[in-house]
Every structure is written in C-alpha cells, then in structure tokens.
Structure 1
C-alpha cells in the first residue's frame, strides 16, 4: 500500500454543501488540510487474490505476472492523429496497452480508433470527457465528466470501461465515492516521461527506461509529437531487460480492480 496526499476533498464538499455566506470562513480552514488516500500496488492485488483463494478472472492474456516481470504501458488523452502509427507499432511488437481516452475532440472525433484499440486486444479506459480537474468542479459536473465517456465507449465497443485515470492524477474522497458508484477504479502511474514538456523522443525513451521497475505503470500521451516515435525504443529497451508488457487489468490478475479504489 502507498499513502499519497492529494488536495483535500473538503474544499470540494464545501463548494457543494456550505451556504454561500459561511463558505469563506469554512473554506479558509479546509484548504490548509490534506486528504490521505491509500493507493494499492499491483503486487498487493495479486497477493490478496491468492490469499483469498480467488479464482482466476481470465485476464492473464499470455503471461502470469505473479511470476513474470510485468509492466503496463498506458497512454492518456487520445486518440489523436498520432494513434494509428502507435497502434501499428504495438501490433508489430505484439505489445498490449491501456488507453485512457478523452471524450471531447477525441473519442467523438476518432471513434474508429477506439474500436480498433479494442479489436486489437488493448484495454480501453476513461480519462474523463473534457479533462476537467475533478477535484475542482462540483458534483454534478464531475459525474458528467465520468458518465459521458463511459456511455460513448460502451456504444463503440459494447462494454463500459472499468478503469479511469483522473486528469493530472488529482483525486480525493469525493471522486473515490463517485467512481465507486459508477463502477470505476482509479489508476495512477509509477513512471512518467513528462512527455508534455518535450518533443525529444530520445529523452522520453531515456526517462521511461531510467524509472521503470517491475509492476511499473508507465504514463505516456499519444497526443504529443515526440511520444509515439519514442515507443519503439521504450519497448525494445524494456524487453531487453526481461520485462513483459500487459494491460493494467492483466497486471492485477488474478486479482481485479475494485470500483472506488486507487491503484499505482
């Protein structure tokens, strides 16, 4: 278990429930606090399932991460015009990935790519509808940000996503509760190339290789110019070190992500 400290959910709750006249004083107290959230590692999920004698969930694919040295390659904020090239690379290298897709200007613009992701064995997940920070908006708006991509994805591939990545990784107790209600588990990351800061593909590759360890969840974005050209080097470098690529759900198997929980 990892304990991470995120922006307090109290401020968000106050915006939703505290009368306007009293909000100023209450908010001044709330923003000085911090909500502590537990995040669960893939190894903990696998061990918990084994200890409980759980049956396999059928999500192993071709590898059992209880014995193999697994990593999960994940892409946020697409699909985009770069995604077809990325899918070609993944298909050639026989590497599955998890795509945390955006709704507005992405799912709605490239529905055929969402279908292709699913058809080719990738995991399609949600990154909200329009990338609003869930901890900074009211409850109704947050619900819409999560429900709209769920419905759009289900319409395209016949199943709702079970995983969600909150924009900028910002979450709190309120987001956890809403995610649980909507059947979504939250997935953060352990490796980031910060590819939103550079188009240097060699640097992106180096950052990923320098940080990755077993059970790593690698964060990249298929919307940036330098990212997709970096992927072949990432795959080659990690394969040479003995890593096997899986989806996030395969990384947790025989355990399973639980709605309302946060994983990294």
Structure 2
C-alpha cells in the first residue's frame, strides 16, 4: 500500500504547485523538515476488500464493488438548512450517501435531520465537533473533538459512528492512534469540487464529473448554496456512465474500515 506524507493530504486547500514560487516551495520544504512531517499508510477501497476475512461475505443483494463500477458520494460539515432538499434528491434517485457531520451548530442544532439521515439508510459519520485542525491539538484535544460528536450522534440515532473525516484532510500518527482507540477509521477523498469557493452549481458539477473514477470518493458540502442544486446532475450523468452509488462501508465491503487506518482512493 502507498505511503503518503501528512502534509500532502491538505494540498487541495492551497495554490497550485505549478504556480508556487521558488521561495514558497523553499519555505514549505523547510517547515516540513523542521516539523518532522509524518507519513502514514494509505489504504484504498480495493485494499479493504482484499483484506477481508475469508469468511466475510457481502450482504444479500449488496453491490459487489470488486466487479461493479462503484463510487461513493459524501457530504461534509452538515446538516444544514440545505440538507432536507438534498435528502429529497437522494431519495428520488435511490442513492445512499455518507454524511460526515459536524457537532457544534449542526448535529446539536438539527437533531431531527441527523435522525432522518440515519433512518433513510445513509451512513452517519463524524467530521469532529468544531472543525478544529486535529494535527494542531494534543491527544486529549483530538479525543474530545471526536468523542463529543460520536456521543451526540449515538444519542440521536442509537449508533456510534465508526468513520470520520479530519478537517482539511489533515492527519498524523497521533490522530491515527486516537482514532484507533475510539474505533474510527479515517476517510479521505479522490474528487472535490472546492464548493466552499464557488456558488456556481454548473462548475461544481463539472469539477466532480471531471474527477470521477471507479472506487472514487466524492467530497461535497451540503452547507453551501451552490452544492445541492449540482447533485441531480452529478448523479444523473454518473449513472449514465455506468456508476453505482454506494456508501463508504459498501465501497469497502466485504472488508471493513479498520480503526485508525486512513482510506483514500
């Protein structure tokens, strides 16, 4: 399995490396050397399926993503006032998604939406309590950010999340160890629309369609105005290309996400 540097996972937030000046590159390189940037094992959905125990089997009627052209639709940082419309779209399209929910001002503000997400067959996962950058916290801080969201979701749905997505995709050995302790696997992505920077739904749709690939994990946010209107087009066009939409656990099945591990297509 490939190894990735912890810094690389957040590259989608910065300027393109091709446009970066020599000075900026030098500063970043120095920071990485001084900071002792860690690397970690990256597991793909295919790795998870191959690592499945011999006796593991797909649930009756489940999609076999080792054979089908699967892709997972995921939404970060909700729920929000846009989530009901999104859920209506997903129900109409018969698509299940994975929701990485924020605790403060989201899970605690919209408990009925958290319950609806779970009741309608979507995977409920964690995006921390307050979106703090986990690599900037000590172990107790990481533990609090993750535990509070797990407990809040469990109180509403009766089920404790087993998946989490670190804010900005930033992780390291300490985050991985605390995640392992709490029974949480870390889920990254392969396609992002950078919908936090635009309200242009057509552009959001195009960016995702350009990056979509088999075993992919799509990152969107159901908190921004332009995102939910882009979802019908994304689903429709990817279905035309032969994709089957699945949740993250379904993408890995019959394997399961290992606590503490980092999964990225």
1:56 aligns with 2:62: no
TM score, norm. by length of structure 2: 0.88
Residue 71 of structure 2 corresponds to: 71
Report the Cα distance in structure 2 between the residues aligned to 1:198 and 1:47, rounded to whole angstroms.
38
Partner of 2:185: 185
1:106-145 matched pairs, under 5 angstroms:
106-145=106-145
* Contact map agreement 1:7 1:135 (CA 8 A) in 2: no
User: C-alpha separation between the residues in 2 aligned to 1:45 and 1:189?
Assistant: 15
Q: Which residue of 1 aligns with 2:232?
A: 232
1-side partners of 2:61 and 2:192: how far apart?
25
When normalised by structure 1's length, the TM-score is 0.88
* Residue 42 of structure 2 is aligned to residue 39 of structure 1: yes
Alignment: residue pair count: 242
Separation (CA, whole Å) in 1 of partners of 2:172 and 2:246: 28
1:162 to 1:29, Cα distance in 2 relative to 1, 3 A = closer
Instruction: Structure 2 unaligned segments of length 5 or more: list them.
Output: 9-30
Q: Quick one: distance in 2 between partners of 1:7 and 1:234? A: 29
RMSD: 1.6
- CA separation of 1:170 and 1:29: change in aligned 2, threshold 3 A: closer
Separation in structure 2 between the aligned mates of residue 208 and residue 77 of structure 1, nearest angstrom: 18
Mapping of 1:1-264 within 5 angstroms? 1-7=1-7, 31-49=34-52, 52-56=53-57, 58=59, 62-264=62-264
Secondary structure of residue in 1 paired with 2:189:
coil
Q: Which residue in 2 is equivalent to 1:24?
A: none
- Identify unmatched segments of 5+ residues in structure 1: 9-27
The equivalent of 1:13 in structure 2 is none
In the alignment, the residues of structure 2 paired with residue 140 and residue 57 of structure 1 have an alpha-carbon distance, to the nearest angstrom, of 37
Displacement after TM superposition at 1:83 (Å): 0.2
SS of the counterpart of 1:37?
strand
**Aligned pair in 2 of structure 1 residues 117, 141: CA closer, same or farther (>3 Å)?**
same
Deviation digits for residues 110-132 of structure 1, max 9, x if unmatched? 00001001110000000000000
**How many angstroms does 1:3 deviate by?**
2.1
Q: Is the 8 A contact 2:58 2:64 kept in 1?
A: no
